[in-house]
């Protein structure tokens, strides 16, 4: 009998989905991370982001199903046994992150962040020229399932959309252009909006340098809903303080929570959200994670195909 440890909070309906997939399996539900370390050695399958230091390359573990799209730390040597399959939640966060990105895009282009500041000061003032997404070139860096949905949204509003990804592939119909990361420097000068949804990898760390921001139009806006290590706080502050670009909105930062004394808080042209683009802020996000997990439970039992298997050499879905 396989033992399945579930460490994310689930309701009765979600439990039923998992238990239907894992018929004749033993289920353990525990959300307290201080208690999960004792249960991990018993588990054949784990659903949830257990602390990497608690896994100890458990030889019994057949599947670790993450509740996140990011795989930070789990592909490091010694964390998982070579016999453990790692899967993530790619696809579950598409709607919530893409909509968050769209909201931030319009907020920046229409100066809503400035008007909110004025409202708090009881000031009636016209903040001048706005931008139109219908006339914009939008560059999506880290084009994947989230980027695909965001592309559909901005394309529907009339934008020209360019996707940037690691490997060459056939261009989806929704995109006007699809390029690889080695062409990024050629694309950035054309961007009115840069929407970054990059994962946390060695290749993406501090990708957005001062030099790359300087390649962008002074009227461009930058939105980061991927991982915070793509740009350092120092570079971001300097670029925005000097108005190298018009404005930025970041849901993620290299250090989280963002320290209360960070100078980033004081920037008029930066919108900050506290890593809330993803998570379980939309009710159906967790249902989608459970559906992915259920499919992978069936795969362990030989009744289905695996979904979202991670390549340990890249940290990306195969």
pLDDT score for 44:
98
**Nearest-CA neighbor of 310 among 225, 199, 203, 202?**
199
How confident is the model at residue 19, as a pLDDT?
98
Structure tokens at 32: 């307290």
Helical pair 94-109 and 145-156, crossing angle rounded to 10 deg: 40
pLDDT the model gives residue 33: 86
Query: Per the confidence metrics, is the pTM higher than 0.85?
Result: yes
Instruction: For each of the domains in the chain, give its residue range(s) and CATH number, in order of start.
Output: 3-92+281-300 (3.40.50.720), 94-272 (3.40.50.720)
Per-residue model confidence as pLDDT tens for the chain (318 residues): 999 999 999 999 999 999 999 999 999 999 998 899 999 999 999 999 999 999 999 999 999 999 999 898 999 999 999 999 999 999 999 999 999 999 999 999 999 999 999 999 999 999 999 999 999 999 999 999 999 999 999 999 999 999 999 999 999 999 999 999 999 999 999 999 999 999 888 889 999 999 999 999 999 999 999 999 999 999 999 999 999 999 999 999 999 999 999 999 999 999 999 999 999 999 899 999 999 999 999 999 999 999 999 998 888 888
Question: What's residue 318's pLDDT?
Answer: 81
Q: Which of 260, 209, 259, 217 is nearest to 238 (CA)?
A: 209
pLDDT score for 34: 86
Beta carbons within 8 Å of 246's beta carbon, 6+ residues apart: 108, 218, 219, 220, 221, 269
pLDDT at 201: 83
Per-residue model confidence (pLDDT) at position 72: 86
3-state secondary structure of 236: helix
Phi-psi category of residue 243: left, alpha or beta, with phi > 0 → left and psi -120 to 50 → alpha: left
């Amino acid at each position: 009998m396989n033992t399945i440890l579930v460490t994310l909070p689930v309701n009765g309906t979600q439990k039923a989905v998992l238990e239907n997939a894992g018929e004749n399996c033993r289920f353990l539900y525990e959300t307290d991370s201080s208690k999960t370390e004792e249960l991990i050695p018993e588990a054949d399958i784990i659903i949830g982001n257990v602390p990497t230091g608690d896994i100890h390359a458990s030889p019994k573990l057949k599947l670790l199903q993450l509740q996140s799209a990011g795989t930070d730390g789990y592909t490091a040597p010694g964390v998982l046994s070579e016999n453990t399959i790692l899967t993530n939640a790619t696809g579950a966060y598409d709607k919530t992150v893409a909509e968050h990105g769209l909201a931030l895009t319009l907020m920046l282009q229409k100066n809503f962040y400035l008007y909110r500041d004025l409202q708090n000061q009881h000031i009636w003032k016209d903040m001048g020229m706005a931008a139109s997404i219908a006339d914009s070139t939008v560059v999506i860096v880290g084009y994947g399932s989230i980027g695909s949905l965001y592309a559909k949204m901005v394309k529907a509003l009339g934008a020209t959309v360019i996707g940037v990804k690691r490997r060459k592939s056939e261009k989806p119909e929704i995109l006007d252009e699809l390029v690889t990361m080695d062409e990024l420097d050629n694309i950035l000068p054309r961007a009115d909006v840069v929407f970054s949804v990059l994962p946390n990898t060695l290749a993406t760390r501090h990708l957005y340098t001062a030099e790359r921001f300087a390649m962008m139009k002074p009227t461009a806006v930058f939105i980061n809903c991927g991982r915070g290590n793509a740009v350092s706080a120092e570079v971001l502050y300097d670029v925005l303080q000097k108005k190298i670009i018009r404005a930025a909105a970041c849901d993620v930062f290299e250090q989280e929570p963002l320290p209360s004394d960070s100078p980033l808080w004081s920037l008029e042209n930066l919108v900050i959200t506290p890593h809330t683009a993803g998570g379980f802020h939309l009710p159906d996000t967790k249902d989608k994670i459970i559906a992915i997990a259920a499919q992978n439970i069936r795969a362990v039992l030989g009744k289905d195909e695996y979904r979202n298997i991670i390549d340990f050499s890249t940290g990306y879905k195969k």
